[in-house]
Structure 1
């Protein structure tokens, strides 16, 4: 199992018996768009679907073309049903990156959103 999280701390990868945990560094001004969840006494932050998608594309610049997006093997039907294009655009405006906007546009075009 491999889990990736974003953090405002330094990028780090930790390998344990149950899996690999990657922590990717994000500028504090981009650390938003999550809910605080408490489960069994543990509190953690979970990003909205839209924020998770934008973070992923921001942190993985190699995902640039439609073939790269296809290779991610997203659940396309779920994304078509759940992904809010207006929320994506709102989040992308904070990142203020034309390259990111282009890559996310390729995703939304691919999904026909």
Structure 2
């Protein structure tokens, strides 16, 4: 796998990422297996969102991350997002982020997007 430095962050991000939008919401085991396989192959960038897979994508990512050692988990970069429609205030965004951190089983979100 090839990696690129992300700006001046020091993060080495894989040139390929895994989009987590199209997992079957009824097949958690396949979603987790797919995520873990991607990570084993060197992909370390996962893109997810609250609305993906009928609101299950972030949970799938979080459950996959439980299978990693703390050192492995530290090298996985998560991108997630919210919208100005679902979270129109700063307080709403903060509540959303708190719930996303729990679902993702992470202490921080590496890349966060707001879109409309």
Is the structural similarity TM-score above 0.5?
A: no
Give the alignment's TM-score, normalised by structure 1: 0.31
By percentage of residues, which structure has more helix? 1
Determine which structure has more spread, i.e. the larger CA radius of gyration.
Answer: 1
